[in-house]
């Protein structure tokens, strides 16, 4: 039988009939991926988009030759000006989940491919079940393809869902969704072609297998082939497809990462399984902004949109030392979150830096700036920083909150006027830098009763504007306890704070090591080595 597949190196394009651990072409390891040999028609349709160098040489040889010789076998077309290209407004379908619609840019676009990634147990199946239930209720044709769970298991979940929390007694439309429990790609494609749904969910892309490829389902070659063929069908038939994909913490395992180029929209579902809050972010969106984020809570009855998150976080904020409220931006939406810090004397040679909900390198940086320019030294102490509620904050505006929380914790005194709000980025020279949307942050803070929000210059009249970290500490900490004027507080439980310029134990030079796992977040850093860390 003629060979239908070939192993192609994803680094150099080398082709081989057999799989090799190391590419004979470029000697890279684990780069050979099994691919179908493109047929002449398929290669022409893709316009030489295939990655294989050999395939391009064979199928695109005419084009290359044509360019050189001026004549090719292809048809010459007249390019049009963009202004002459008609643009039909996108007909979006509402998923019935407001937060998801917002992240998608207004709803699902027919014929689009959406990749929904997230670690196992985060709620991807729950969300997609709810979406299809809502769409079925709206009279759309839907299809749920489950390669992971049996039809009975999916039914059990659907029975638990409450799609209309305001009217819980109404019919559960999650049960009106047709399901196909199948893992063979050809069967799935034939069924989609026959059923012609408007919206289809594939849960998950790692469980489907193309029979012509020998790799196990979930391997890089399989995942790519599966997604490519589903995309062809989705575009041809105008089906909106949501591909569910698992990501491990480092995102490496035969994961949806390899699909990011292929799909129109990549959504990431984040959060910790043990905590109720879940965040949905768009990492890529051809039909909308990637700035939006949606917040959900996992409850009995499914995922519930959290619309009043700021109110909840401010109400829950502790007034204790080490607590500060950060006026953050979640995309275009302001969100008030509590940042907490704990500073405790360390028993370890390399004190611990543990951070949750923030970038750990950012903590190292803030601690270095705090020691150098704020007079708060934490070199001999373990420092723990946490964004409460399992929320993740990914913006430079969080620096000041981390600095104030750590300063307050290490001094053992609550900030003045707690809950105290703040935002701003710290520069390496100790200055407080302007961050985007100060007016929206201040409005949100005022709405929830926070006064005197500490912010960089030019933020707004209602803010307590400061130019440097030192000024921010002076404004936030009760007088006599901050701004480098206080004595180190040995009698209050042996606070590890030392003042700049004071003789203290000389710390041996330490080397910053990056934790191998983004989830572990245990990063021993040397004192004030943040600005010298490797990138």
Which CB atom, from 125 or from 268, has the smaller least distance to Mg ion? 125
State the minimum distance, in angstroms, from the CB of residue 334 to ligand TYD: 28
Which CB atom, from 157 or from 416, has the smaller least distance to ligand TYD? 157
Kindly state the tokens that stand for 225.
Answer: 């082939």
Give the one entry of Mg ion, ligand TYD, none that residue 230 binds, where binding means its C-beta sits below a cut-off of 5 to 8 angstroms depending on kind.
none
Give the one entry of ligand TYD, Mg ion, none that residue 202 binds, where binding means its C-beta sits below a cut-off of 5 to 8 angstroms depending on kind.
none
Part in contact with Mg ion (CB under 5 A); list of ranges 103-111, 122-130, 311-319, 337-345: 122-130
- Alpha helical stretches, state H, 203-350: 220-237, 309-316
With tokens 């105290």, the residue in question is: 420
Give the contacts of 58 (CB within 8 A, at least 6 positions apart). Answer: 43
Which CB atom, from 122 or from 450, has the smaller least distance to ligand TYD? 122
Residues of this chain, 281-300, that bind ligand TYD according to CB under 6 A: 298, 300
Which CB atom, from 14 or from 269, has the smaller least distance to Mg ion? 269
Give the contacts of 498 (CB within 8 A, at least 6 positions apart). Answer: 377, 379, 380, 488, 504
Which CB atom, from 61 or from 121, has the smaller least distance to ligand TYD? 121
For residue 18, the tally of other CB atoms under 10 A from its CB is: 8
Give the one entry of Mg ion, ligand TYD, none that residue 298 binds, where binding means its C-beta sits below a cut-off of 5 to 8 angstroms depending on kind.
ligand TYD
Give the one entry of Mg ion, ligand TYD, none that residue 512 binds, where binding means its C-beta sits below a cut-off of 5 to 8 angstroms depending on kind.
none
Give the one entry of ligand TYD, Mg ion, none that residue 122 binds, where binding means its C-beta sits below a cut-off of 5 to 8 angstroms depending on kind.
ligand TYD
**What is the torsional sign of CA 18, 21, 22, 23?**
positive
Residues of this chain, 300-329, that bind ligand TYD according to CB under 6 A: 300-302
- Alpha helical stretches, state H, 374-498: 399-411, 438-447, 469-476
- Residue of 252, 254, 300, 294 lying closest to 276 (CA atoms): 300
Give the one entry of ligand TYD, Mg ion, none that residue 121 binds, where binding means its C-beta sits below a cut-off of 5 to 8 angstroms depending on kind.
ligand TYD
Which CB atom, from 119 or from 125, has the smaller least distance to Mg ion? 125
Q: How far apart are CA 191 and CA 175, in angstroms?
A: 19
With tokens 């705090």, the residue in question is: 370
SS3 381: strand
Binding mask 75-114 vs Mg ion (x if CB under 5 A, - otherwise)?
----------------------------------------
Categorise residue 451: left if φ over 0, alpha if ψ from -120 to 50, beta otherwise.
Answer: beta
Residue 134 interacts with Mg ion (CB under 5 A)? no
Which CB atom, from 293 or from 407, has the smaller least distance to ligand TYD? 293
Cβ atoms of residues 285 and 100 within 8 Å: no
Which CB atom, from 159 or from 439, has the smaller least distance to ligand TYD? 159
Residue 125 interacts with Mg ion (CB under 5 A)? yes
Binding mask 159-178 vs ligand TYD (x if CB under 6 A, - otherwise)?
-xx-----------------
Which CB atom, from 20 or from 257, has the smaller least distance to ligand TYD? 257
Binding mask 113-142 vs ligand TYD (x if CB under 6 A, - otherwise)?
-----x-xxxxxxx----------------
- Give the up-direction half-sphere exposure of residue 283: CA atoms within 13 A in the CB hemisphere: 17
Give the one entry of ligand TYD, Mg ion, none that residue 126 binds, where binding means its C-beta sits below a cut-off of 5 to 8 angstroms depending on kind.
ligand TYD
State the minimum distance, in angstroms, from the CB of residue 203 to Mg ion: 6
Cβ atoms of residues 413 and 481 within 8 Å: yes
What single string gives the DSSP state of each residue in 68-121? HHS--SSPP-----GGGS--PPP--B--S-HHHHHHHTSSBPTT-EEEEEE-TT
Q: How far apart are CA 325 and CA 344, in angstroms?
A: 21
Tell me the β-bridge partners of 327: 336
Part in contact with Mg ion (CB under 5 A); list of ranges 66-74, 123-131, 314-322, 480-488: 123-131
Kindly state the tokens that stand for 279.
Answer: 């965040």
Radius of gyration of the chain (CA): 27
Q: How far apart are CA 121 and CA 126, in angstroms?
A: 9
Which CB atom, from 174 or from 223, has the smaller least distance to ligand TYD? 174
Give the one entry of Mg ion, ligand TYD, none that residue 120 binds, where binding means its C-beta sits below a cut-off of 5 to 8 angstroms depending on kind.
ligand TYD
Which residue's CB atom is positioned nearest to Mg ion? 125
Site for ligand TYD (CB under 6 A): how many residues?
A: 15
Cβ atoms of residues 409 and 381 within 8 Å: no
Binding site for Mg ion (CB under 5 A): 125
Binding site for ligand TYD (CB under 6 A): 118, 120-126, 157, 160-161, 298, 300-302
């Amino acid at each position: 039988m003629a060979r239908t597949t070939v192993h192609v190196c994803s680094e150099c394009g080398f082709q081989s009939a057999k799989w090799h651990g190391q590419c004979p072409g470029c000697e890279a390891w684990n780069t050979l991926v099994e691919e179908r040999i493109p047929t002449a028609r398929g290669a022409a349709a893709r316009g030489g988009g295939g990655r294989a160098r050999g395939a391009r040489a064979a199928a695109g040889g005419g084009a290359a030759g044509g360019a050189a010789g001026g004549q090719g076998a292809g048809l010459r077309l007249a390019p049009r000006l963009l202004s002459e290209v008609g643009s039909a407004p996108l007909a979006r379908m509402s998923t019935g989940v407001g937060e998801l619609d917002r992240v998608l840019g207004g709803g699902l676009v027919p014929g689009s491919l959406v990749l929904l990634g997230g670690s196992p147990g985060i709620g991807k199946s729950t969300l997609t079940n709810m979406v299809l239930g809502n769409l079925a209720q709206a009279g759309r044709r839907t299809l749920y393809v489950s390669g992971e769970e049996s039809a009975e298991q999916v039914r059990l979940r659907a029975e638990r869902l409450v799609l209309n929390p305001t009217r819980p007694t109404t019919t559960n439309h999650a049960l009106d969704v047709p399901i196909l429990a199948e893992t063979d790609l050809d069967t799935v494609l034939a069924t989609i072609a026959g059923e012609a749904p408007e919206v289809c969910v594939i849960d998950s892309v790692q469980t489907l297998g193309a029979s012509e490829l020998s790799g196990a389902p979930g391997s890089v070659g399989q995942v790519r082939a599966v997604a490519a063929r589903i995309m062809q069908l989705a575009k041809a038939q105008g089906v909106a497809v949501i591909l569910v994909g698992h990501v491990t913490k480092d995102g490496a395992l035969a994961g949806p990462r390899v699909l990011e180029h292929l799909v129109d929209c990549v959504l990431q579902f984040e959060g910790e399984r043990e905590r109720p809050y879940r965040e949905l972010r768009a990492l890529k969106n051809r039909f909308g902004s990637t700035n939006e984020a949606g917040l959900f809570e996992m409850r009995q009855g499914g995922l519930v949109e959290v619309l009043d998150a700021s109110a909840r976080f401010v109400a829950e904020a502790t007034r204790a030392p080490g607590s500060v409220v950060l006026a953050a931006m979640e995309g275009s939406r302001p969100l008030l979150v509590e940042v907490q810090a704990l500073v405790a004397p360390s028993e370890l040679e390399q004190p611990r830096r543990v951070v949750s909900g923030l970038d750990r390198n950012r903590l190292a940086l803030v601690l270095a700036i705090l020691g150098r320019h704020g007079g708060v030294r934490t070199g001999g102490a373990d420092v723990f920083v946490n964004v409460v509620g399992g929320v993740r904050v990914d913006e430079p505006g969080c620096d000041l909150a981390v600095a104030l929380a750590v300063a307050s914790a290490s001094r053992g005194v609550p900030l003045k006027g707690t809950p105290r709000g703040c935002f701003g980025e710290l520069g390496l020279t100790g200055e407080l830098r302007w961050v985007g949307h100060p007016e929206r942050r201040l409005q949100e803070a005022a709405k929830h009763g926070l006064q005197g929000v500490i912010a960089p210059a030019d933020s707004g009249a209602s803010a307590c504007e400061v130019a440097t970290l030192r000024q921010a500490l002076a404004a936030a900490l009760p007088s006599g306890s901050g701004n480098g004027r206080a004595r180190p507080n040995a009698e209050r439980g042996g606070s590890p704070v030392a003042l700049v310029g004071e003789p203290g134990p000389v710390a041996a030079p330490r080397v910053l090591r990056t934790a191998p796992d983004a989830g572990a977040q245990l990063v021993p850093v040397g004192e004030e080595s943040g600005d010298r860390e490797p990138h």
